[in-house]
């Protein structure tokens, strides 16, 4: 069975600094999808970034980028130039192709400090 582990329950970063959130996963599949979702205090889940396992290039969305290490089964999220609005809970998620079931990690609470 697939599992997703986020080992950092809480993190903080100064505004304008860079922070990296860790995520590891376990699967025997060779192809799959990985996601980072943001859940701000409003509780609305927002897709931050998505990575397809068969693509070697790391995904990037503006200030958000990932470091995808397939062999190590690691999928970390880097937030550059952190902003106060980045304060939220961040969930790493895994999904197998052909299914729509997400497996979420336990989340990392990120606080951006002014």
Partner 1 sequence: GAVVSQHPSRVICKSGTSVKIECRSLDFQATTMFWYRQFPKQSLMLMATSNEGSKATYEQGVEKDKFLINHASLTLSTLTVTSAHPEDSSFYICSAREPGQADEQYFGPGTRLTVT
DSSP 13-75: EETT--EEE--EEE-S-SS-EEEEEEE-TT---EEEEEEETT--SPPEETTEEEEEETTTTEE
Smallest distance, partner 1 to C-beta of residue 37, A: 8
DSSP-assigned letter for residue 86: G
Closer residue to partner 1 (CB): 81 or 97: 97
Smallest distance, partner 1 to C-beta of residue 33, A: 5
Closer residue to partner 1 (CB): 1 or 114: 1
Smallest distance, partner 1 to C-beta of residue 18, A: 25
Closer residue to partner 1 (CB): 41 or 114: 41
């Amino acid at each position: 069975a697939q599992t997703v582990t986020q080992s950092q329950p809480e993190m903080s970063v100064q505004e304008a600094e860079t922070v990296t959130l860790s995520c590891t996963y376990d699967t025997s599949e060779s192809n799959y999808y990985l996601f980072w979702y943001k859940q701000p205090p409003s509780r609305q889940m927002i897709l931050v970034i998505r990575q397809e396992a068969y693509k070697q290039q790391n995904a990037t969305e503006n200030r958000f980028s990932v470091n995808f290490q397939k062999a190590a089964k690691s999928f970390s999220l880097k937030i550059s130039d952190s902003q106060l609005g980045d304060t939220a809970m961040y969930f790493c998620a895994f999904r197998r192709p052909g299914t729509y079931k997400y497996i979420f990690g336990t989340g990392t609470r990120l606080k951006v400090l002014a």
